[in-house]
């Protein structure tokens, strides 16, 4: 109403005359290094409105010259060599024993619960229902039997031994699964699972071979802009970064949790020249999180995209990040 607007203007006029009106504070961000930080500042409501910034053309990738067929050919050759060197029979037997070991822990957890009503959290009740449906083990196996079958599964056995006996306590809410996975907030206990276990090492090596194939196709002087989605503990980055040290203009390490970003920065200090650490939820449009479209040559996503609710939407968001001819690995 008009009377209200007049009243507001009168109050503002008096404050202006009394010098109590101050300009809005200005916060400066470097356009190249702090674009995402600037966007988060605005999106968190600490300023007026929301702004999506597009990084200038000198910082956005051009079309990638690597040919898809050539990269696939080099990767196929690597995979054939790696499979030939893999003791598949022993690994399959060890995986069967590991599955049986985990079902032993599941069975013990279900039998150890006084009643299903002791499980309060709804998602824990869903997990308990699944646990109760697992077939019982025909025989009991010691953790050492898995390692004897294939030493490359030791990191997974260590994880099972640490978490399995505590499954019942987790279901009751008496123990924290975060503390079991990350004791004292440290990633060290989980790193071997993603870096040293036989299956993880096989796929990490395949990813490195794919990246090296892209690098081999670059013309002289052309550097890559790479983003890793859901980088987590950094197991994939630890494998890939040495192959990119001389060929990378920017490697953006992203995750939905700042905890992983804080732990990764000192770990990868050797590559600080081209490393960036940013929050990114690939479920949502990256352009609304401060990422310009078509600014990366390669997007790396290991064991993460399947965990998003709508895979078609997730892949569309990955595509938005890539330049023409870019690779999603």
Average pLDDT over residues 31-55: 58
Cα distances from 201 to residues 49, 198, 207, 211, 233, in angstroms, run 46, 5, 10, 15, 15
- For residue 30, name the pLDDT band (cuts at 50, 70, 90): low
In contact, 261 and 279? CB cutoff 8 Å: yes
Please tell me the predicted confidence (pLDDT) of residue 290.
85
CA dist 3 → 9, 13, 17, 270 (Å): 10, 15, 21, 64
Token digits of residue 119: 């499980």
Is the pLDDT higher at 45 or at 244?
Answer: 244
Tell me: pLDDT of 49 over 50: no
Counting other chains too, the contacts that 180-183 makes at CB distance below 8 Å and 24 or more residues apart are none
* pLDDT confidence band for 51 (50 / 70 / 90): very low
Q: What is the pTM of this model?
A: 0.78
pLDDT of 140: 87
What length does the chain have?
329
Nearest alpha-carbon partner for 295 in 65, 59, 39 = 59
Tokens matching residue 280: 């990114």
Residue 68 pLDDT exceeds 70: yes
> pLDDT for 218-265, tens place per residue?
988 899 999 999 999 999 999 999 999 999 999 999 999 999 999 999
Specify the pLDDT at position 156. 96
């Amino acid at each position: 109403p008009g009377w209200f607007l007049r009243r507001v203007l009168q109050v503002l006029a008096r404050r202006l005359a009394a010098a109590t009106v101050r300009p809005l504070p200005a916060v400066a961000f470097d356009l190249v290094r702090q674009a995402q930080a600037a966007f988060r500042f605005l999106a968190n409501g600490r300023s007026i409105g929301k702004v999506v910034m597009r990084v200038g053309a000198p910082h956005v990738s051009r079309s990638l010259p690597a040919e898809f067929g050539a990269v696939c050919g080099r990767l196929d050759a690597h995979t054939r060599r790696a499979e030939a060197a893999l003791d598949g029979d022993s690994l399959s037997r060890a995986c069967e024993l590991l599955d049986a070991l985990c079902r032993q822990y599941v069975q013990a957890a279900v039998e150890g619960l006084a009643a299903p009503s002791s499980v309060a959290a709804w998602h824990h009740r869903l997990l308990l229902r699944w646990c109760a449906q697992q077939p019982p083990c025909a025989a009991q196996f010691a953790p050492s039997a898995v390692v004897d079958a294939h030493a490359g599964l030791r990191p997974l056995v260590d994880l099972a031994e640490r978490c399995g006996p505590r499954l019942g306590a987790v279901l009751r809410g008496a123990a924290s699964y975060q503390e079991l996975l990350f004791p004292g907030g440290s990633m060290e206990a989980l790193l071997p699972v993603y870096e040293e276990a036989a299956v993880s090492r096989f796929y990490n090596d395949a990813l490195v071979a794919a990246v090296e194939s892209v690098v081999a196709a670059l013309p002289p002087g052309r550097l890559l802009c790479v983003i890793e989605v859901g980088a987590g503990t950094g197991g994939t980055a630890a494998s890939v970064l040495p192959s990119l040290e001389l060929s990378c203009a920017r490697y953006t390490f992203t995750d939905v949790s700042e905890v992983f970003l804080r732990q990764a920065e000192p770990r990868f200090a050797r590559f600080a020249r081209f490393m960036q650490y940013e929050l990114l939820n690939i479920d949502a449009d990256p352009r609304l999180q401060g990422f310009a479209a078509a600014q990366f040559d390669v997007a790396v996503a290991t064991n993460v995209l399947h965990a998003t609710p709508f895979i078609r939407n997730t892949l569309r968001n990955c595509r938005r990040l890539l330049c023409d001819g870019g690779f999603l690995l």
